[in-house]
Amino acid sequence: MLKALTYRIVVILLFTIVSSLRPVADRTNFLVTTKVTLGVKLGMLPSGGLHQFALIYFRNDVLTSIQPVSMDRMVKVGAGKWPIPGTHKFHNFFAEEDMYIFPTDTHEVFNINASVDSLWKVRFAAHPYSQSARNGWSQGDYRPSLKQRQYIYDRYGVRGYDQDYFVDSSFFKLLKDVQNPDWIKEYKSMY
């Protein structure tokens, strides 16, 4: 009985040692890469808002989840002030795009509020909830003209406003574009 137990222990130890000697390259097939980024969806949403911010999670370049977040949380996580939910990592997504939300000694502050206040204008010709708001940039009442929709798809990769998010680099590009007078003029001219 003792011999059988000793034999089993030796076999298990040998198996463990041999398994650990496998080259590292063979074990990398099991590694999972996870990416988190920011996004925004435009439209008349069930929440009553005109835009919804989200943390977008990818695993091995496949979308795995979308976590809606408030603007405040999006800004704090995106600027690296708060950790990315589900991790203990802080990451400044905005700084990667040369957008500095909070004052620094060497960079000009990006006015995120001006961008957020203008997002509805990409989708609507007039503000759907406020008669006192100025006109939007859309050439259609509730969605952009065909030419504008094609432009949005070509530039940002977004086809359906109610379902799709402006994600990752498209999100940051949109935030910059809605403050650019040349972009606004070009977008408004598409009938």
Rounded CA-CA distance 174/180 in Å is 10
Which positions ≥6 away from 94 have C-beta within 8 Å? 78, 79, 100, 101, 110, 172
Element (H, E) at 40: strand 34-42
Cα 63 to chain centroid distance, Å, stands at: 11
Q: What is the mean pLDDT of residues 167-188?
A: 97
Q: Please name which of 83, 51, 79, 82 lies closest in space to residue 166, comparing C-alpha atoms.
A: 51
- Per-residue pLDDT of 64-81, as tens digits, reads 999 999 999 999 999 999
What mean pLDDT comes out for the span 170-191? Answer: 97
pLDDT tens digits along 101-143: 998 889 999 999 999 999 999 999 999 888 877 899 999 988 8
Total number of residues shown for the chain: 191
Amino acid 180: pLDDT = 98
pLDDT of residue 167: 97
Q: Which helix (H) or strand (E) holds 113?
A: helix 112-123
The answer, yes or no, to whether residue 27 has pLDDT greater than 50, is no
pLDDT at 26 over 70: no
Please determine, for residue 92, whether its predicted confidence score (pLDDT) is greater than 80. Answer: yes
pLDDT-derived band at 94, boundaries 50, 70, 90: very high
Per the model's pLDDT, the better-predicted residue between 181 and 1 turns out to be 181
Per DSSP (E only), the strands in 43-172 are 51-59, 62-69, 166-167
Q: In the chain, where are the structural domains located?
A: 34-188
The H or E element that residue 39 is part of is strand 34-42
- Bigger pLDDT: 2 vs 83: 83
Between 29 and 191, name the one with better pLDDT: 191
